[in-house]
Structure 1
Amino acid sequence: MEREDFDFKNFEKEAIKKLQVGEPLEGADGVLAPLLKRLFNASLEGELDAHLKTGKEKNRKNGKGSKKLKTSFGEVEIDKPRGRNSTFSGLFNFISSAPSY
């Protein structure tokens, strides 16, 4: 599976433009939403890769499901990867929302 490259330079330029015209930093349509989505998706992919390597039974990747994660920055839609044997849960199944700092 190919990983989508994230253009940080373009993100920074677009984020600054959006903030200058008054768009929110937080929330589903906030300036940080694309970056948060990228970070959460990368984290889940890494977790699944580790799970598949350490599993005792034969297993493999089996697509993704769309989920909404509540964070202190608002809701972020993520693409939660699945394993064929449904033995992968990932960190985000254990938390209903990220802690507020």
Structure 2
Amino acid sequence: MNTEDFLSDEFLKQFKTAKLLNDFLAQIQKRGIEKMLEGELDGHLGYCKNEQTDGDNARNGYGKKKIKTSYGESEIKVPRDRDASFNPMIVPKRENMVEGIEEVIVSLYAKGMSVSDIEEQIKDVNKFDVSPSTIS
């Protein structure tokens, strides 16, 4: 499904109430945050999921974390590494607030932005740098 499909009248007519639309946007946000966390772990480990590596550190499943956003509370899967050195920038350890990230995630899906545009927007909104591998 591409950007035009998300913005089409046919797709949007399924949202009969503000709650249905809000729930959908919350799910997009949740999935987007989880994918960004996976990208961050790829950058931290230096290789993508399912690639071979000779390094000592490796993926070690997922942990659950409750986060709060303007869409409400949500439980996300946070990827882990074996030596516990992965500290995500998007949702840092021991924090549960994701302020402003929803604008980034929604615009990511709605605008079909390039990786460099998304990287710049995350930096502007959240005041921290992310690598292109985190975004993709």
Q: Give 1:64's aligned residue.
A: 62
Q: Give 2:36's aligned residue.
A: 43
Counterpart contact for 1:23–1:31, Cα < 8 Å: no
Q: Give 2:99's aligned residue.
A: 99
The separation in 2 between residues aligned to 1:34 and 1:78, in whole angstroms, is 10
5+ residue gaps in structure 1? 1-6
Give TM-score scaled by structure 2 length: 0.53
Q: Give 1:74's aligned residue.
A: 72
For residue 32 of structure 1, give the secondary structure of its aligned residue in structure 2.
Answer: helix
Which structure has greater strand proportion? 1
Residue 53 (str. 1) matches residue 46 (str. 2): yes
The separation in 2 between residues aligned to 1:16 and 1:85, in whole angstroms, is 47
Q: What RMSD over aligned residues (CA atoms) do the two structures have, in Å? A: 2.6
The separation in 2 between residues aligned to 1:16 and 1:76, in whole angstroms, is 25
**How many residue pairs end up in the alignment?**
86
Kindly, what percent of the aligned residue pairs are identical?
35
> 1:53 is matched by which residue type in structure 2?
G
5+ residue gaps in structure 2? 48-54, 104-136
> 1:64 is matched by which residue type in structure 2?
Y
The separation in 2 between residues aligned to 1:41 and 1:16, in whole angstroms, is 27
Deviation at 1:96, TM superposition (A): 3.0
The runs of at least 4 consecutive aligned structure 1 residues that moved more than 3 Å come to 7-10
CA-to-aligned-CA distance 1:51-77 (integer Å, 9 cap, x gap): 1119xx620001001211111111122
Counterpart contact for 2:41–2:86, Cα < 8 Å: yes
